[in-house]
Structure 1
Amino acid sequence: MEIAIFNRLTTPKLHQLLEFAGINGLFLIGCSDVAKARRDRDFPLFRHATGQWAKKVRGKTHYFGTDKDSAAERWYKEKDALYAGETPKSRNKGPTITELANVFNASQRQRHETTGKPGLRHIELCERTIRRLIGFVGADCNISSLGPDDYAKIKLRLFEPVKRTKPVRGKVFGRQVARRSPETVAGDVRRIKTFLNWCHDSEYIAAPRFGNKFPNETEVAVTKASLKQQSENRKDIAAGDILALINAARVNFKPLIWLAINSGIGNADIAAIEWDDIATIDDNESWIDLPRLKTGAPRRFILWPETKFAIKEYLAIRNYSGERYKHLVFLTSQNLPWVRGKGDKDHVDSIGTVFAKLRDDCGVKGATFYGLRRTFATIGCESLDFAAVKVLMGHVKDKRDMTSRYAQGVGDERIKAVTDHVRQWVLNGAEVAK
């Protein structure tokens, strides 16, 4: 039995009484020591004989280091997992998610420099998604500690909107949504799986435990309200509106609109067109081979007469004598690339900015430049040659699609048939002044 008493009570007679009572130990402490003891009583950890701060949880002693403040901070981070009988993520051995992300991103960029695949846009999207994942789980998270429930929570958080703090398209902040769409989240899920499966294939981690709560697609209930909203949010552009936009556009912007509806190529691909890509512009049939930047997929299309006319009209007034961008065909009125910058912070899409102003001037509501690509796909599919549309769009073949695996390719006549169908649809909208 032990007892703590004040110094003023420690007399020889008291010692004799304590020994007679069978009390084995005597601790002599002062008033200041009592106050300190009361403070330490509120501290969740105890000082172990090894000098470390420790805590016994579920019958097992856990150690948190010798520094009191650091030990307390670590305890509050790990206590929930310890009380639940789980190993805290910070105690798992192996590389952190940040270390894995650095290796993966470096590998992707090195592969792009060597083979051209994947495209830079795809790499940037992967890096953006991985940064968001790290924000959810923490920079020091060990992937092996994540289970199906963790991935289910991650997917729910992926629906949260990304708050825009800086302009992302020129001086435009872009539309701030209340909730990200299932299609956008599906892309994030695919990129996360690609990243973690690559880490597993490279033998950095064990197989990720996604479970059945982390599917790519998200089933959304179909209601009258959702169908109405889907109808209102259609991103296709009417043929008459496209022609109105072309007629109102400046000479340096007209060929960009024609190229988008002619072939379904997007903003970044148009901005990256070089002189070798349009070497056949003076031929009777001008065929263009232009791999898609995002996926590196091969793509081939034929230029319409209207598109060729708009390009030649622009080239007649093009005035650039510099060296930096001389390899690019299309430049802004300030002789800059239409899409420039490689990261989120310095990315500028002048095509989207100019198109937004042009759209407002023409009174075309809700249209975006990328909507021309969607319109091309929609009208092109009316030809019922979906394989040819897929080639024109630069979509990657699905490895699970056995038909695409055995198909021997799409001939030029099929590609021309699709583009002719879209051209006829556009020209039926109104007469174009040449």
Structure 2
Amino acid sequence: MGKSTTKDARLPLWKHKGSGQWCRKVAGKFRYFGTDLEAALEEWRRVKDWILDGKEPPPHPDDDPASIAIICDAFMEFKEGLLNSGELSKRSFDGYHSTCKFLVEKLKGRTLATSLKPVDFQKLRQKMAAKWGPVKLGNEIQVIRSVFKYAYDSDLITAPVKFGPGFAKPSRLVLRKAKADKGSRLFDPAEARKIIKLAGPQMRAMVLLGLQAGLGNTDVAMLTLKHVEAEDGWLVYPRTKTAIVRRIPLWEETAAALKAAIKARPEPKDPDDAKLLFIGPRGQSYVGNNRGYRVHQEFQRVAIRAGSDRTFYDCRRTFQTIGEESGDLVAVGSIMGHAPRSDDMAAVYRQGVSDERLRAVVDRVHEWLYAGAGEEGGGE
């Protein structure tokens, strides 16, 4: 998080690009002081002696231990501990941070959690529904509920927050309707081959990984050189979202495309990106502040040229759909990196999926993509 900042040598704080907050790093820990510079400087002057001395500062006189800001800070400190211990992915941490920032902005940081009424959450949901689709809305509602549950479980508040009926997640009917309205997100084989043919070395390899292994935007953005080099002809890579390790047999076209991408790979501007496989033409990684968005942007440029309205994530949807035609759903899930349900006892006892089963799945998708196409769309 620390490297995405704008510094001014004249100020004791600098602006974090990802969150827009003024911040300072002390003893390896980032401290955030809000988006208003004057208020941030005032707060820094109030707390700096404690922080620089390695102590936690007292709360602001206008703050209450049960304020939205205090609760969100405590929640994020808890999540940061999980991040540092390897129990939480950076992507999930960033998602929690974004939700807490939204909460503080919309409910006001110094609002007491105990003063919130169901009508407040009803109004908040209306703002969220105007901003996000049903799936994103449901996910954000769940996170917000988790924030306040953490506050109650941690004795930051003495009674559970009442959300009321107006802060429910979208119904299954609404979710089904939203999915139906979007129509099929499945690639046509000729459409996919055309995109592969028009793409440059980096995007061609990404699309092939998406189609043959279900890698998503963040997966390819975070892919490192060592993941490809670990085992010849295989990709050994934990899914970014679930940390489930995947072993994926690579098509010849994909292996060739990866070699071409590595050969054409520009020198990264940021030394921290040296480990990443995919580097953009200007020397930037595809990660960015909004992980995977640069993959989406570059894919859209190629898709438009190909006359396609698909997104990069539709590669993952296509792999799942066509891969299931192999008849081996367990092998498909293994390649996709799906986390099994806690009550899935078969997954608990299963010690692995054989290479033959994994190859059968990717072979079925390869047959779908290239049958009757000759050499068209290969990784030249």
TM above 0.5, yes or no, is yes
Instruction: Tell me if structure 2 keeps the 8 A contact 1:251–1:310.
Output: yes
Deviation at 1:150?
4.2
Provide the residue aligned with 1:108 in structure 2.
79
Do residues 340 (structure 1) and 288 (structure 2) align? yes
Pick which of 269-278 and 136-145 moved more. 136-145
In 2: Cα distance, 1:97 partner to 1:323 partner = 36
How big is each residue's C-alpha offset from its partner over 1:261-283, in whole Å with a ceiling of 9 and x where there is no partner?
Answer: 121111222122222211245x3
Residue type of the partner of 2:310?
A: A
Do residues 349 (structure 1) and 320 (structure 2) align? no
Deviation at 1:242?
0.9
How big is each residue's C-alpha offset from its partner over 1:371-413, in whole Å with a ceiling of 9 and x where there is no partner?
Answer: 21122222223334333333333333333x3446644254134
Identity between Structure 1 and Structure 2 (%): 24
How big is each residue's C-alpha offset from its partner over 1:184-238, in whole Å with a ceiling of 9 and x where there is no partner?
Answer: 1111122112222222332322333345554444243699xx58x8265332221
Instruction: Tell me if structure 2 keeps the 8 A contact 1:388–1:410.
Output: no
Do residues 246 (structure 1) and 202 (structure 2) align? no
Residue type of the partner of 1:107?
A: F
Residue type of the partner of 2:304?
A: D
Do residues 423 (structure 1) and 366 (structure 2) align? yes
Residue type of the partner of 1:159?
A: A
Question: Alignment RMSD, CA only?
Answer: 3.1
Query: Which residue, out of 133, 146, 161, partners 1:194?
Result: 146
Provide the residue aligned with 1:361 in structure 2.
305
Do residues 314 (structure 1) and 264 (structure 2) align? no
TM-score by length of 2: 0.72
Instruction: Tell me if structure 2 keeps the 8 A contact 1:245–1:362.
Output: yes
Do residues 328 (structure 1) and 279 (structure 2) align? no
Instruction: Tell me if structure 1 keeps the 8 A contact 2:206–2:220.
Output: yes
Deviation at 1:243?
0.7
Instruction: Tell me if structure 1 keeps the 8 A contact 2:268–2:283.
Output: no
Deviation at 1:357?
1.3
Equivalent residue runs for 1:353-432 within 5 Å: 353-364=297-308, 366-399=309-342, 401-403=343-345, 406-412=348-354, 413-428=356-371, 430-431=373-374, 432=376
How big is each residue's C-alpha offset from its partner over 1:67-90, in whole Å with a ceiling of 9 and x where there is no partner?
Answer: xxxxxxxxxxxxxxxxxxxxxxxx
Pick which of 355-364 and 230-239 moved more. 230-239
In 2: Cα distance, 1:123 partner to 1:392 partner = 24
Query: Which residue, out of 160, 172, 179, partners 1:207?
Result: 160
CA, structure 1 residues 251+387, in 2 after alignment: closer, same or farther (shift >3 Å)?
Answer: same
- Residue ranges of structure 1 left out of the alignment (5+ in a row): 1-90, 162-179
Provide the residue aligned with 2:212 in structure 1.
262
Q: Could you say what secondary structure the match of 2:285 adopts?
A: coil
CA, structure 1 residues 406+378, in 2 after alignment: closer, same or farther (shift >3 Å)?
Answer: same
Query: Which residue, out of 91, 94, 99, partners 1:121?
Result: 91
Query: Which residue, out of 235, 242, 257, partners 1:288?
Result: 235
Q: Could you say what secondary structure the match of 1:391 adopts?
A: helix
Query: Which residue, out of 61, 67, 79, partners 1:96?
Result: 67
Instruction: Tell me if structure 2 keeps the 8 A contact 1:397–1:404.
Output: no
Deviation at 1:247?
0.8
In 2: Cα distance, 1:391 partner to 1:148 partner = 42
In 2: Cα distance, 1:139 partner to 1:297 partner = 36
CA, structure 1 residues 219+213, in 2 after alignment: closer, same or farther (shift >3 Å)?
Answer: farther
Q: Could you say what secondary structure the match of 1:354 adopts?
A: helix
Deviation at 1:358?
0.9
TM-score by length of 1: 0.64
Q: Aligned pairs, how many? A: 313
Instruction: Tell me if structure 2 keeps the 8 A contact 1:264–1:393.
Output: yes
Provide the residue aligned with 1:11 in structure 2.
none
In 2: Cα distance, 1:219 partner to 1:253 partner = 35
Provide the residue aligned with 1:37 in structure 2.
none
Deviation at 1:241?
0.8
Residue type of the partner of 1:181?
A: G
CA, structure 1 residues 150+244, in 2 after alignment: closer, same or farther (shift >3 Å)?
Answer: same
Provide the residue aligned with 1:184 in structure 2.
136
- Residue ranges of structure 2 left out of the alignment (5+ in a row): 1-61
Residue type of the partner of 1:209?
A: K
Residue type of the partner of 2:66?
A: P
